[in-house]
Structure 1
Amino acid sequence: MKSNKILNILIAVIAIIGAFLFIRIFMEDVDTLKVDGDLQNKVISPIIYFSTILFYAAVVIAIVLSLWNLIRNPQNLKKTLLGIGVLGVVLIVAYFMSDTQAVLDTQGEVLPGGEEGSTTNKWVGTGIIYSIILGAIASLFFVYDLVKGLIKS
């Protein structure tokens, strides 16, 4: 119960700080805010820094708690490592399926950085194929689950 109170207080403090920073933006003249760089730094930068800090804190907390849970429960660790291994195999398959052809714009000219043989092209192609493979697998499981649900009904 005590940790719940602390969490609620922490959430309230974060909300109050965010509201204060947000209200500061609306207290300024819109036209002046658009053109005055010093005013933008004074008013907008703090809320951006605050949001960035909250984002990084959320990421770190999520990773730490996930790792802590994996360490405490070895069965989940085995399943997680198996899942990561399968994703790694799918990534390797996608990498070998991708190509390094030149990337062209609408006029048929090669885009800067999109030259044939570029590693960027290879990894972008890998990401696209990886997404397609995972999407296809997810679709198959969705259809399987749908059919299984219809048969049970």
Structure 2
Amino acid sequence: MKNNRLITIVVALLSLVGIVLFLMTMGVDSEDRVAISDAVSPLVTYSLVLLILTAGVTILASIFSLFKNPTALKKALFGLLGIGVLLVISYILSSDGQVVDANEKVIAIEGGSVSKNTSTGIWLSIILIVIAGGFFVWDLLKGIVKS
């Protein structure tokens, strides 16, 4: 009960600070770019700090809950192992050739690590899409058979 009240107070204070920062941006002349930048900068910084804190707390809470539940930790480690295996397969399939954009401008030179890493990411995405598509089709067929 006391914990809920504390959380409510903290959320209300954070919201109040955000509202005040937002209202400070509304009173600025829209033609004065420097004034707009000066007014918006604290709001953006505040938002980034809240985002980083929220992500950090979420990650830490997830890690602590994993250590409290050994079966969930085992499943998470198997999932990470699976992603690691797919990443190795993607790296093996990837090429380190030259990367060009739609205008034939060179983005990454041939033989560079940027080219290899980009290709690895593309192959990993393709493999994950194929796996997801396979599970989708399997679930669809399983539903058709049941009905």
Q: Same fold (TM over 0.5)?
A: yes
- CA shift, 1:106, in A, is 4.6
* Aligned 1:101-116 pairs, distance under 5 A: 101-106=97-102, 108-111=104-107, 114-116=108-110
Q: Quote the Cα distance in structure 1 between the aligned partners of 2:52 and 2:105.
A: 40
Q: Quote the Cα distance in structure 1 between the aligned partners of 2:25 and 2:7.
A: 28
Residue aligning to 2:3: 3
Q: Secondary structure at the match of 1:12?
A: helix
Q: Quote the Cα distance in structure 2 between the aligned partners of 1:71 and 1:56.
A: 23
Residue aligning to 1:79: 75
Residue aligning to 2:61: 65
Q: Quote the Cα distance in structure 2 between the aligned partners of 1:97 and 1:50.
A: 43
Q: Quote the Cα distance in structure 2 between the aligned partners of 1:135 and 1:104.
A: 23
The 8 Å contact of residues 30 and 36 in structure 2, kept in 1 or not, is answered as: no
Q: Quote the Cα distance in structure 2 between the aligned partners of 1:22 and 1:109.
A: 41
- CA shift, 1:22, in A, is 0.9
Stretches (4+) displaced over 6 A = none
Residues 1:96 and 2:54 are matched in the alignment: no
Residue aligning to 2:21: 21
Residues 1:50 and 2:46 are matched in the alignment: yes
Q: Quote the Cα distance in structure 2 between the aligned partners of 1:105 and 1:152.
A: 47
Q: Quote the Cα distance in structure 2 between the aligned partners of 1:12 and 1:132.
A: 44
Count of residue correspondences: 147
In the alignment, structure 2 segments of 5+ residues that lack a partner are none
Over 3 Å counting, the alpha-carbon distance change for 1:152 and 1:125 in structure 2 is: same
- CA shift, 1:45, in A, is 1.3
What letter matches 1:31 in structure 2? E
Q: Secondary structure at the match of 1:101?
A: coil
Over 3 Å counting, the alpha-carbon distance change for 1:151 and 1:46 in structure 2 is: same
- CA shift, 1:118, in A, is 0.7
TM-score under structure 2 normalisation? Answer: 0.92
In the alignment, structure 1 segments of 5+ residues that lack a partner are none
Q: Quote the Cα distance in structure 2 between the aligned partners of 1:151 and 1:31.
A: 64
| Percent of aligned pairs sharing the same letter | 35
TM-score under structure 1 normalisation? Answer: 0.89
What letter matches 2:56 in structure 1? V
